[in-house]
């Protein structure tokens, strides 16, 4: 690793998949597109959790949720820091969603099969949520590790600590890794460690924060379109 200063131009040249030893994928709004609105369900479950815990109407509960998210990066971190909420109860409640809002993703499955390198998931959600999402998409066989918010001791991205812990636990060289994410600011610690980064373009302001910064090395519209620039999948089964 001789280039740890993330000062590269955006999309200077395509990534050569053969040079990537390890792929680090975010989960929500990355392995499936934001337009599926699955994460909208998770957010709505966060609101009902706050309504029930604090005896609030939906409006004030949503206001508290937004304030905690803005102050602490994630709603869970805010609830733990300011209100000593049990994270397990929160995660169980908010991930009780209907994953049939997602369509199975056979093309993504074939692209991942054609993509060389080890594949990991790094999420601010939980392992059970990641497993249900990946099973619904039909892609779980490609990933050997899910590093979740519990493994991160409830310290969410973009705090640098869980990135260092992921590298240590999963045991890979950041210089040979690429991280793919929809929240641009979550790519900053990855770039600082020496990983190459891919931002999946988002219409959400909170996801675009940091998108113009130098820690975003490559930009793509969605994961399938990005992987199509790297590998040729096997032909569709007839
Ligand atoms: Mg995401």
Q: How far is Cα 111 from Cα 231, in angstroms, rounded to an integer? A: 7
56 CA to centre of ligand 1 in angstroms:
28
Query: For residue 117, is pLDDT > 50?
Result: yes
52 CA to centre of ligand 1 in angstroms:
26
- Among residues 99, 116, 117, the alpha carbon closest in space to that of 31 is found at 99
Instruction: Return the bridge partners of 200, or none.
Output: 220
Lowest mean pLDDT among 16-20, 151-155, 208-212: 208-212
Domain 17-32+104-228 -> CATH class: alpha beta
Query: For residue 234, is pLDDT > 50?
Result: yes
236 CA to centre of ligand 1 in angstroms:
28
Contact, 134 vs 149, CB < 8 A? no
Single pTM value for the model? 0.91
Average confidence (pLDDT) over 172-183: 97
Indicate where the chain has its CATH 3.40.50.1000 domain(s): 17-32+104-228
117 CA to centre of ligand 1 in angstroms:
21
Tokens coding 46: 């966060």
- Among residues 70, 74, 63, 170, the alpha carbon closest in space to that of 122 is found at 170
Indicate where the chain has its CATH 1.10.150.450 domain(s): 38-94
Query: For residue 238, is pLDDT > 80?
Result: no
Instruction: Provide, rounded to the nearest whole percent, the portion of the chain with pLDDT above 70.
Output: 94
Looking at residue 237, what is its pLDDT? 67
| pLDDT band for position 12 (cuts 50, 70, 90) | low
25 CA to centre of ligand 1 in angstroms:
9
CATH code, 38-94: 1.10.150.450
181 CA to centre of ligand 1 in angstroms:
6
The pLDDT tens digits for 20-43 are: 999 999 999 999 998 888 988 999
- Among residues 27, 24, 48, the alpha carbon closest in space to that of 36 is found at 27
55 CA to centre of ligand 1 in angstroms:
29
Query: For residue 7, is pLDDT > 70?
Result: no
26 CA to centre of ligand 1 in angstroms:
6
Give the chain's mean pLDDT.
92
Q: How far is Cα 138 from Cα 144, in angstroms, rounded to an integer? A: 15
Looking at residue 78, what is its pLDDT? 96
190 CA to centre of ligand 1 in angstroms:
15
183 CA to centre of ligand 1 in angstroms:
6
238 CA to centre of ligand 1 in angstroms:
33
The pLDDT tens digits for 132-161 are: 999 999 999 999 999 999 999 999 999 999
> What are the CB-based long-range contacts (under 8 Å, 24+) for 216-221?
216/10, 216/184, 216/187, 216/191, 217/6, 217/8, 217/10, 217/11, 217/12, 217/191, 218/10, 218/11, 218/15, 219/10, 219/11
Lowest mean pLDDT among 7-11, 108-112, 230-234: 7-11
């Amino acid at each position: 690793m001789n280039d740890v200063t993330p000062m590269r131009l955006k999309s200077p040249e395509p990534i050569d998949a053969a040079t990537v030893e390890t792929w680090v994928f975010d989960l929500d709004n990355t392995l499936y597109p934001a337009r599926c609105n699955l994460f909208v369900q998770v957010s709505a479950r966060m609101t009902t959790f706050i309504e029930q815990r604090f005896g609030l109407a939906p409006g004030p509960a949503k206001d508290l949720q937004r304030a905690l998210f803005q102050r602490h990066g994630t709603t869970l971190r805010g609830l733990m820091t300011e209100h000593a909420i049990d994270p397990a109860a929160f995660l169980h409640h908010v991930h009780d969603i209907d994953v049939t809002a997602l369509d199975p993703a056979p093309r993504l499955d074939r692209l991942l099969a054609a993509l060389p390198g080890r594949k990991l998931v790094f999420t601010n959600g939980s392992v059970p949520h990641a497993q249900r999402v990946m099973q619904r998409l039909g892609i779980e066989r490609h990933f050997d590790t899910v590093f979740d918010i519990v493994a991160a001791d409830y310290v969410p991205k973009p705090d640098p600590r869980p990135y260092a812990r992921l590298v240590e636990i999963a045991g890979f060289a950041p210089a040979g890794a690429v991280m793919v994410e929809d929240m641009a600011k979550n790519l900053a610690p990855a770039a600082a460690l020496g990983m190459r980064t891919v931002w999946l373009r988002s219409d959400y302001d909170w996801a675009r924060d940091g998108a113009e910064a130098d820690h975003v090395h490559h930009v793509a519209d969605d994961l399938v379109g990005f992987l199509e620039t790297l590998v040729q999948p096997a032909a569709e089964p007839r």
